[in-house]
Amino acid sequence: MHDSRLKKRHDQRRRYRVFDHLMTTFAVTVVVVVTVVLTVPARLSGSIEYLEVVDDTLYFQVRLDDPEARLVSDSLYLRIDHPLDRRDIPLQAGVYAGHIDALRPSSRYKVTLHASQGYGEEILGRATIDTAVQEVGTIAGVFFTEDFSMGMWLIEAVILKAHLSEYDSMFVEVTWSDADGFTESYTAMITDGYNRVIVQTVSLWFKGVMEVHLIGIHPEAGEERIDVWTGRIPYAVYASVYLEDVGTNTMTMAVYRDDDLPDALYTLRLYQASRLIEQKRLSFVAVEDMYQMGTHRFRSLNPDTDYTVELWIAYKDPYTGEAKHRRVFSETHRTLALHQVDVYVEHMESGHRVRVVTDDPNQVLRNLRVLLYEVVEPYDLFKGSFTAEAPIVLEDGRIEHRFLIPPQQAEILLFQVIADYAVDGVIMYYFNIIDAIYYHD
């Protein structure tokens, strides 16, 4: 009886200990669970609100809601990801806007919004953007510069962003045409990047329109026209200068002009050993359908002497308004080397007697004659051509040629003595030998 009571009490105490242990374990478990639940923060929320690509720049705006401000010591950043370009951009909580420069062209980027905390990292937003298709070339401008020494326009085409990655080669084609249907074109190769392509082939006298094409040779598609510039050649300016004749003391120049610069001034300059001897502003008259011609005779020159003739043009650029002064021609000529030629003009009732006395031991002068002009501005009026009487040999060995000119009413007369000129026995075209001016009293 006693033993059974003891056993019963022992069993009851053991049950209490098990229950105690279970309750203790449960209490600890509850405490741990409650502790964990209480330390997990409220979930962060954020989003990528705006993305836009302009050229090679990404503009963005993001939002992050962090009510307990736990990111003060942690980080928030925007990541752009490309196989060849990964960058992390630090941000701030709240609404944040910014931009990212120098993106790769013609590419796709992954964009992710990251919040990094002490226990890990969370992605709050995702997006994908495509950057702009790369410009393979642009004609930024076409510029013209006159080169009168060559008689050409220097055409400079400025090419930007000329990328050869998609093409085997690239070149510029310049084409110009006029109202008469004349067309011509030239090409110039270009390289990667920035190019200034100069084509030196358009004549200054050309009037017409011009096209500049940027062309690429694609490995599959072949020739592709990437960009084009169309415009007019600024203006035409053409001048040619010819030596009409040269004598012992004269030199006659003829200038032909064809331009659309009505206010342009043309001036001839004469130099001897770099010293300016004379300059003359030219007057012009129309000849044929296209050209205007102006002439000038330089007188009182020295025989057997080099003289340099220059033609200068002063004009206003009709496009820029810039005043320009350009030398368009320079050439050196030598006066004839005769020992002596003297001209004497005598006024008689029957007209004028012109006596030409020559010291010509080598007999290079042939077929001497006199041309008569009435001196008026801007040109001398031709009055006739006269041949000599039989030559007279003077006592000193010189030869005198006499010409009888009918009476003239003009106030100023020009007697121009010309002759064929033999060089090494070969008769050349006639040259002016000497001028004589006669003034009526």
Confidence (pLDDT) at 311: 94
Torsion of CA 27, 32, 35, 39, to 10 degrees: -170
Q: H/E element holding 141?
A: strand 138-147
Spatial CA neighbour of 311 closest among 340, 341, 282: 282
* Assigned CATH class of 45-130: mainly beta
Answer yes or no: is pLDDT of 8 > 60.
Answer: no
Which is more confidently placed, 435 or 107? 107
How high is the pLDDT of residue 296? 93
CB of 438 closer than 8 Å to CB of 412? yes
Ranking 35-39, 146-150, 253-257 by mean pLDDT, the lowest is: 35-39
Q: What is the pLDDT of residue 35?
A: 45
The per-residue pLDDT for 17 is: 56
Q: What is the pLDDT of residues 293-318, one digit of tens each?
A: 999 999 888 888 899 999 999 988 87
Percent of the chain with pLDDT over 90: 11
pLDDT over threshold 50, residue 140: yes
Burial of 430 (0-12, 13-18, 19+ CB in 10 A): middle
Peptide bond preceding 361 in cis form (omega within 30 of 0): no
Superfamily of domain 340-439: Immunoglobulins (2.60.40.10)
CATH number of 138-232: 2.60.40
**DSSP state at residue 377:** S
- The closest alpha carbon to 243, from 266, 265, 268, 267, belongs to 268
Percent share of the chain, pLDDT over 70: 74
pLDDT, tens only, 69-125: 555 445 788 999 987 788 998 887 777 888 898 887 777 899 998 887 666 778 888
pTM of the model: 0.46
pLDDT at 179: 74
Quick: pLDDT tens for 157-181. Answer: 777 666 666 777 888 888 888 777 7
Beta strands in 247-364 (DSSP E): 251-259, 265-272, 275-281, 285-287, 291-298, 306-316, 323-334, 340-348, 351-359
Residue range(s) in the chain whose domain bears CATH number 2.60.40.10? 45-130, 237-334, 340-439
CATH number, domain 237-334, options 2.40.50.140, 2.60.40.10, 3.40.50.720, 3.30.310.50: 2.60.40.10
Q: Is the pLDDT at 441 greater than 60, yes or no?
A: no
pLDDT at 272 > cutoff 90? yes
**Which of 53-57, 228-232, 306-310, 431-435: highest mean pLDDT?**
306-310
| 268 or 333: which leads in pLDDT | 268
Kindly report the average pLDDT of the chain as a whole number.
77
pLDDT in the model for residue 171: 85
Confidence of residue 220 (pLDDT cuts 50, 70, 90): confident
